[in-house]
Amino acid sequence: MLQKKLFVSFVLLCATAIGVFSRASWILNVYQDFFLPQNESVCACNKCLMEYDPWLSELMKESPEPFLSPTNNISDDTFKWWKRIQTDRRNFAFYNKTVDKVFQIFPTKVSFTRSSPDLCRTCAVVGNSGNLNGSHYGPLIDFHDIVIRINLGPTKGFERDVGNKTTYHVMYPRSFKHLENTTHLVFFPFKISDLEWLIRPLAQKNITLTYVILLFTKLSLNPAFMKYVHYVWLKKHGRYPSTGFLTLVLSLYLCDEVGSRNRYDNSSLHHSLLAHWLYMRA
């Protein structure tokens, strides 16, 4: 009889313990659901560009750092690829000396805001084809956190269609023009002489206000990034990527949501890149 009572007591004790632990587990789950962060996204946008499609994430995993810096230079193999797109015969050692001179003059710290669960970096990429005339997209473009403009597309007198805000101005060296002191030049070097162009005004002692502004607002695209876009995105089609396509891929680093404003239709960067990707795979 005593053994039976002990057995019943043991069963009841086990049942009570199970109930207590189950309730504790339920309380813990509720606490985690409501008070702890849940698989935070890479950004604070409703839909982050880098989470849009698996194919995009896979492509970006192979990307090198997009900008040159003293600690982020290129390899001899990348230099050989870069040299093939130019007629310059100077060697890798000369290239390195030129880059060293550039960073003796320009700030050596490359700074741009990276993705964060607390931020949503919205961007507009604006071309210079003239297709925005009459679009009235100006306020929509300026509403973005970051506006990236390519080459010599004018804004003065066309603010209603193209806006007047410029965060990054992408341009080829020979097409350089005056930049406002709130604008960063994103410099695309396609040959060694382009890098020499940056330091030539100091050598000639011809320093203007425009050049002083340039000293503190310059970012130079890494030739390794150019090679990556050519190999991974373009599958080696053509000799090298165009400035426009390089800018679109670069915007994936600078932005979480991107709109490409170069057509009458309000096309998204995702559709632009996806269409190109499908074309290259066909």
Task: Determine the Cα–Cα distance for residues 242 and 128; give it in Å rounded to an integer.
Answer: 14
Question: Mind listing the pLDDT tens digit of every residue in the chain (282 residues)?
Answer: 545 554 445 444 454 444 444 444 444 443 344 443 444 677 888 877 777 677 787 888 888 989 888 888 899 999 999 999 888 889 999 999 999 988 887 766 666 677 778 888 888 888 877 788 888 889 999 998 889 888 877 888 989 999 999 888 887 766 666 666 667 778 888 889 888 887 776 555 444 444 444 454 578 889 999 999 999 999 998 889 988 889 888 988 888 887 655 543 444 444 444 444 444 443
Element (H, E) at 135: none
**Per-residue burial over 165-203, b = 16 or more CB atoms within 10 Å of its CB, e = otherwise:** bbbbbbbbbeebeebeeebbbbbbbbbbbbbbbbeebee
At 236 the pLDDT is 92
CA atoms of 237 and 186, how far apart (whole Å): 24
All structural domains of the chain with their residue ranges: 1-38, 49-281
- Please count the other Cβ atoms lying within 10 Å of the Cβ belonging to residue 68: 24
CATH architecture of the domain covering 49-281:
Alpha-Beta Complex (3.90)
The model scores a pTM over 0.95: no
Cα–Cα dist 280/170, whole Å? 25
- Whole-number Å distance between alpha carbons of 170 and 176: 9
Contact 79, 92 (CB under 8 A): yes
Q: What are phi and psi of 185, to 5 degrees?
A: -80, 125
C-alpha to C-alpha distance for 185 and 60, rounded to whole angstroms: 23
Full strand arrangement of the beta sheet holding 146-150: 218-220, 184-187, 168-171, 146-150, 122-126, 257-261
Of 196, 224, 212, give the one whose Cα is nearest residue 67.
Answer: 224
Centre a 10 Å sphere on the Cβ of residue 85 and count the other Cβ atoms it contains: 17
Q: What pLDDT score was predicted for residue 255?
A: 85
Helix, strand or coil, per DSSP, at residue 150: strand
pLDDT value, residue 96: 94
Region of residue 81 (left: phi > 0; alpha: psi -120 to 50; beta: else): alpha
Q: What is the pLDDT of residue 222?
A: 92
